[in-house]
């Protein structure tokens, strides 16, 4: 029912429906096959899997495009091996492949095929350039539920894939009609965020960072909140993804920078040993060449010493950027601004990242701290991050410390800095000022 060779099946000029790199159908060829299958019966019963390689752009940046091309070729071959014989395979986008299952529509079976694909893709790829682990996510949909037109079905699978990636990747998600309305909800959220910015409804809270040995506050992380007119004070989980992807991200980021620096300046006037203030950057701020000049401008205008500012950046965001951004951040480091790798250990290639992207501090992700006293794997990870920091002579700060047992573990293993509910939740600046006043005896 589904022919193997795109060129023969469609009668197009040889190769025109094929992806030259991988030899499978290209998007156009794959869509033709999908349409043909959809029209082959009154009520076609089949399924589509859309496979996206997680963080492929980061992979390319790190290992080069030639190595990336090899991986794509391998992925195409493995997809063929892991799929039923009658499946059609296509390369839909630069790092996305489609697998049409022409005779399966039972979700349990589809999930089974998807799991086989994820498992086969995840075994390491041995190339001349090294040994690589490729992780992928899958958006799945069954037909006819997902639509009648090929493009609708593909769009449905895309929504499911986006959900799989959003849920952390390396997993499969099925399309649900609800996902279409979620897109609409997201659009209205973005609209509301524009309004919120114009109405100055964003605020910053500050969470203390302490020296574990004496409990004294040395720093504070600025964390954003949205004072919503009807829903109260909203945590970032409710809006930060939508904000980060919106066109105001960069402007809001600059507002954050200014606000946090103004607060840092106030503390530096009030206290002999003021806390260093850390801010989180949006990816959008990094992709602009104005970051360096803006930060320098703000520091100068406020007469704030660069060592009062810390910039937190996740390796995932850092790796998405080009050399120019890395140069800007390194220039800020040379000025004296502290650069910290946030959520360290959760990213794509933490150790090789440090080689190409020097930082002053590592922030151990809270997911490793949560069970550090019970889970030997988490304990081993935390210990090894502390050792990496010590060997490279860079600071290590633990995030999400909630219990005295977690503190004791960190101290016993040589980590002296932490942030967490044990020492204080994110709080208004005035409350942190109060803490600082008490500790300085003023
Ligand atoms: P993050 O940068 O990893 O921030 C740390 C998060 O962990 C904060 O959540 C903080 O309140 C929470 N946390 C700290 N200590 C503990 C603890 O002991 N236990 C538990 N359970 N949680 C703890 P928050 O404020 O909800 O922020 C969540 C995320 O939103 C941040 O993660 C960051 O990625 C993003 N975000 C927040 N503010 C900003 C901002 O101003 N700019 C940007 N770009 N992103 C922000
Ligand atoms: Ca952070
Ligand atoms: Ca973090």
pLDDT at 124: 87
pLDDT at 356 over 90: no
Q: pLDDT category, 435, cuts 50, 70, 90?
A: very high
Ligand 1 pocket check for 224: Cβ under 6 Å: yes
The larger pLDDT score, comparing residue 193 to residue 181, is at 193
CA of 237 relative to ligand 1 center, distance in Å: 9
Give the ligand 1 atom nearest the CA of 365.
Answer: 3
201 in Cβ contact with 227 (< 8 Å): yes
Instruction: Dump pLDDT digits (tens) for 360-384.
Output: 999 999 999 999 999 999 999 999 9
pLDDT at 146: 80
Instruction: Dump pLDDT digits (tens) for 318-328.
Output: 777 777 788 89
pLDDT at 349: 61
Give the ligand 1 atom nearest the CA of 222.
Answer: 41
- Long-range pairs of 58-64 with CB within 8 A, sequence gap ≥ 24: 58/316, 58/319, 58/320, 58/348, 58/349, 59/132, 59/134, 59/348, 61/319, 61/320, 61/322, 62/319, 62/348, 62/349, 62/352, 62/356, 63/129, 63/130, 63/132, 64/129
Average pLDDT over residues 389-400: 96
Q: What is the DSSP string of 379-433?
A: HHHHHHHHHHHHHHT-EEEEE---SHHHHHHHHHTT--EEESTTT--SB-HHHHH
Q: Alpha-carbon distance 385 to 340, whole Å?
A: 14
CA of 341 relative to ligand 2 center, distance in Å: 9
CA of 2 relative to ligand 2 center, distance in Å: 50
Instruction: Dump pLDDT digits (tens) for 25-80.
Output: 999 999 999 999 999 988 889 999 999 998 888 888 888 899 999 999 999 999 99
Give the CATH fold of the 187-440 domain: TIM Barrel (3.20.20)
Least confident of 131-135, 172-176, 290-294, 425-429: 131-135
Q: pLDDT category, 2, cuts 50, 70, 90?
A: very low
pLDDT at 352: 76
Using DSSP's 3-state secondary structure scheme, residue 310 falls into strand
pLDDT at 4: 37
Instruction: Dump pLDDT digits (tens) for 220-263.
Output: 999 999 999 999 999 999 999 999 989 999 999 999 999 999 99
Residue 51: its H or E element? strand 46-53
Residue among 220, 280, 407 whose CB has most ligand 1 atoms within 8 A, to mutate: 280
Q: pLDDT category, 5, cuts 50, 70, 90?
A: very low
| Residues within 5 A (CB) of ion ligand 2 | 280, 312, 342
Give the ligand 1 atom nearest the CA of 224.
Answer: 38
Ligand 1 pocket check for 156: Cβ under 6 Å: no
pLDDT at 10: 35
Domain locations in the chain?
27-176, 187-440
Q: pLDDT category, 287, cuts 50, 70, 90?
A: confident
Alpha-carbon Rg of the chain, whole angstroms? 25
pLDDT at 351: 78
Could you tell me the two tokens for 134? Answer: 């490729």
Instruction: Dump pLDDT digits (tens) for 73-121.
Output: 999 999 999 999 999 999 999 999 999 999 999 999 999 999 999 999 9
Phi, psi for 11 (deg, rounded to 5): 75, 10
pLDDT at 434: 97
Using DSSP's 3-state secondary structure scheme, residue 17 falls into coil
Instruction: Dump pLDDT digits (tens) for 303-352.
Output: 999 999 999 998 878 777 777 788 899 999 999 999 999 999 887 666 77
In this structure, which CATH number among 3.20.20.70, 3.90.110.10, 1.10.8.60, 3.30.70.270 belongs to the domain 27-176? 3.30.70.270
pLDDT at 389: 94
Please, what is the average pLDDT of the chain? Answer: 91
Tokens 């101290």 identify what position? 411
CA of 308 relative to ligand 2 center, distance in Å: 16
Could you tell me the two tokens for 226? Answer: 């949205």
State the pairing for strand pair 217-228/276-280.
parallel
Q: Alpha-carbon distance 342 to 316, whole Å?
A: 10
Residue 61: its H or E element? helix 56-63
pLDDT at 15 over 70: no
Q: pLDDT category, 9, cuts 50, 70, 90?
A: very low
Q: Alpha-carbon distance 97 to 172, whole Å?
A: 14
Ligand 1 pocket check for 342: Cβ under 6 Å: yes
Q: pLDDT category, 175, cuts 50, 70, 90?
A: very high
pLDDT at 12 over 50: no
Residue nearest to atom 13 of ligand 1 (CA): 400
Give ∠ CA 305-311-313 in degrees, rounded to 5: 170
Using a pLDDT cut of 90, give the percent of the chain over it: 75
Ligand 1 pocket check for 223: Cβ under 6 Å: yes
């Amino acid at each position: 029912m589904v022919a193997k060779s795109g060129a023969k099946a469609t009668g197009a000029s040889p190769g025109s429906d094929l992806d030259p790199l991988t030899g499978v159908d290209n998007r156009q060829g794959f869509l033709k096959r999908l349409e043909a299958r959809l029209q082959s019966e009154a009520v076609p019963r089949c399924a589509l899997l859309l496979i996206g390689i997680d963080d492929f752009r980061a992979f390319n940046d790190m290992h080069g495009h030639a190595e990336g091309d090899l991986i794509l070729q391998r992925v195409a071959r493995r997809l063929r091996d892991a799929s039923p014989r009658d499946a059609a395979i296509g390369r839909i986008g630069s790092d996305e492949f489609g697998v049409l299952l022409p005779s399966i529509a039972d979700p349990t079976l589809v999930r089974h095929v998807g799991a086989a694909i994820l498992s086969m893709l995840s075994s390491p790829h041995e190339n001349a350039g090294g040994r690589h682990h490729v992780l992928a996510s899958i958006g799945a949909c069954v037909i006819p539920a997902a639509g009648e037109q090929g493009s609708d079905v593909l769009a449905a699978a895309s929504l499911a894939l986006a959900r799989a990636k959003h849920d952390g990747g390396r997993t499969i998600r099925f399309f649900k009609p609800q996902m279409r309305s979620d897109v609409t909800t997201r659009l209205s959220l973005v609209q509301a965020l524009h309004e919120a910015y114009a109405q100055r409804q964003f605020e910053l809270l500050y969470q203390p960072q302490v020296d574990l040995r004496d409990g004294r506050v040395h720093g504070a992380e600025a964390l954003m909140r949205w004072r919503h007119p009807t829903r109260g004070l909203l945590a970032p989980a409710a809006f930060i993804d939508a904000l980060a992807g919106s066109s105001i991200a960069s402007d809001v980021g600059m507002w954050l920078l200014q606000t946090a620096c103004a607060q840092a300046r106030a503390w530096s006037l009030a206290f002999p040993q003021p806390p260093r203030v850390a801010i989180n950057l949006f990816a959008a701020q990094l992709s602009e060449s104005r970051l360096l000049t803006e930060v320098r401008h703000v520091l100068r205008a406020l007469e704030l010493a660069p060592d009062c500012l810390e910039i937190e950046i996740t390796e995932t965001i850092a790796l998405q950027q080009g050399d120019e951004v890395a140069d800007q951040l390194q220039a800020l480091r040379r000025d004296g601004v502290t650069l910290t790798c946030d959520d360290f250990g959760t990213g794509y290639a933490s150790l090789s990242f440090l080689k190409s992207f020097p930082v002053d501090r590592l922030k151990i992700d809270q997911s490793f701290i949560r069970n550090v006293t019970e889970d030997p794997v988490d304990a081993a990870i935390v210990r090894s991050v502390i050792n990496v920091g010590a060997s490279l002579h860079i600071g290590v700060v633990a995030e999400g410390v909630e219990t005295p047992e977690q503190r004791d573990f960190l101290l016993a293993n040589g980590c002296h800095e932490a942030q967490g509910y044990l020492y204080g939740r994110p709080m208004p600046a005035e409350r942190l000022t109060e803490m600082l006043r008490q500790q300085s005896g003023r």
